[in-house]
Amino acid sequence: MRKRTVFRLAAGTAALGAATLAYASLIERNMFTLRRFDVPVLAPDSEPLRILHLSDLHMMPEQRRKQGWVAALAGLDPDLVVVTGDNLAHPEAVPGALRALQPLLDLPGAFVFGSNDYTGPIWKNPFSYLLPEREYQPGTDLPFEELREVLVGAGWHDLNNRRATFKAGGRLIDAAGVDDPHIERDDYATVAGAPVADADLSLGLTHSPEPRVLDEMAADGLDLLLAGHTHGGQVCVPFVGALVTNCELPRSMAKGLHRWPGTDSWLHVSAGLGTHPTAPVRFACPPEASLLTLISR
C-alpha cells in the first residue's frame, strides 16, 4: 500500500509539473497584457501626458501574434513611445520587430538598446540565473544598425549614451539615456547633468536598471526613470514575486512603478513582452507593455 501511495504521489507531482510547464510555455507567455500607471511628476495644473513604455520584445521572425498585438497599441494614441531595448532575438528578426513598431513610428519616440540587440542569445542552463555572479556570454551578431537606422529615420531619438530635448504632447522633454549597463556599455558621465530649466519633464532611459546608473540619474533630478531587462522575474512565485532580477536591482522592484529610494524620482521597470528563446516560459508574470499617464504632482 505504501509503495502504491508513493507512486501515486510521484505521478501526481509529475503531472502537475508537466501541466505547469505547458501553461507557462504555451499560454501565459502569450497572454500579452497592458498595464496602466498614473505617475505624479508634472507641474501643478498640467494636462496629463501619456507614455507607452515597451521593452524586451526578444522578437523572433515568426512571432506574428506578438507583432500584431504591439502594432495595435498605436490605437492608444500615446504622446510618446519609449523602447528600452532587447528588441531582437534572431539575425532575421528586424522585419518582425518593425512590423510590431511600424504603426508607432509616426509618434514621437525614444529608445536605448540592450545586449540582445547587439548579439543573439545562446543556450544556457535556466538555473544559472539563480547564481549571484554569472559571466555574460554573447552569441551571434545581430543587425542592430539596421534597426537603429529605421528608428532614427522615423524621427525617434537614439539615447544610447546620448541626451536630447524634444517636444511630445505639446510639452518639452529633456531625456538622457545610456547604452546597456548589463554589458558595461553605459557612459552616463557623457550625458549627466540637471534637466534644462524650461523642461516640462525629464526622463532617464536604461535597459538594465542597475542601481549605480539609477542613482546618478536620480541625483541629477530626473523625474522618471524607465528600464526593462528583468522580465519581471519571468518565472515568479505567487504571493512571493520575482526570484531574480538578473541585475543588482532588488527583487521587490523587479517590475512596475516605484519611487527610487531617498529621491523624488520615479522608476518604472517593464516586465517586457518576450522571453529568452531557449527558455520560452513565463509563470505568474505575463508579458506586458505599460501606458504611463503622467499627472500633476
How do 224-227 and 201-205 pair as beta strands? parallel
Domain that holds residue 131: 33-296
Distance, CA of 114 to CA of 83 (rounded, Å): 10
Residues 51 and 117 in one domain: yes
- Could you tell me which residue, 256 or 24, shows the higher pLDDT? 256
Question: Do 190 and 57 lie in a common domain?
Answer: yes
Binning pLDDT at 50, 70 and 90, where does residue 12 land?
very low
pLDDT at residue 138, rounded to an integer: 73
The pLDDT value recorded for residue 135 is 63
Q: 254 and 154 in one domain?
A: yes
198 and 227 co-located in one domain: yes
Residues 1 and 75 in one domain: no
Instruction: Look at residue 128 in the predicted model and tell me its pLDDT.
Output: 52
Per residue in 183-233, pLDDT (tens digit) is 999 999 999 999 999 999 999 999 999 999 999 999 999 999 999 999 999
**74 and 41 housed in the same domain:** yes
Integer Cα distance of 57 and 89 in angstroms = 8
Q: Please, what is the end-to-end C-alpha distance for the chain in angstroms?
A: 67
Q: Are residues 125 and 174 in the same domain?
A: yes
Same domain, residue pair 82 and 126:
yes
Instruction: Quote the mean pLDDT of the chain.
Output: 90
pLDDT computed for residue 14 by the predictor: 39
Task: Say which residues have a Cβ less than 8 Å from residue 289's Cβ, sequence separation at least 6.
Answer: 32, 33, 34, 35, 52, 53, 54, 70, 73, 270, 273
pLDDT digit string, tens, across residues 27-64:
898 999 999 999 999 999 999 999 999 999 999 999 99
Would you state the pLDDT for residue 122? 73
Average pLDDT rounded to a whole number, residues 272-289: 92
pTM of the entire predicted model? 0.90
Residue 212 and residue 91: Cα distance in Å, rounded?
31
Instruction: Decide if pLDDT at 19 tops 80.
Output: no
Q: What CATH number is given to the structural domain containing 108?
A: 3.60.21.10
Q: Are residues 24 and 67 in the same domain?
A: no
Total domains, the chain? 2
Contact 264, 14 (CB under 8 A): no
Same domain, 123 and 238: yes
Would you say residue 259 has pLDDT above 90? yes
pLDDT average, residue stretch 146-166: 98
Q: Both 178 and 92 in a single domain?
A: yes
Residues 109 and 162 in one domain: yes
Q: Which of 2-16, 47-61, 138-152, 169-183 has the lowest mean pLDDT?
A: 2-16
The answer, yes or no, to whether residue 21 has pLDDT greater than 90, is no
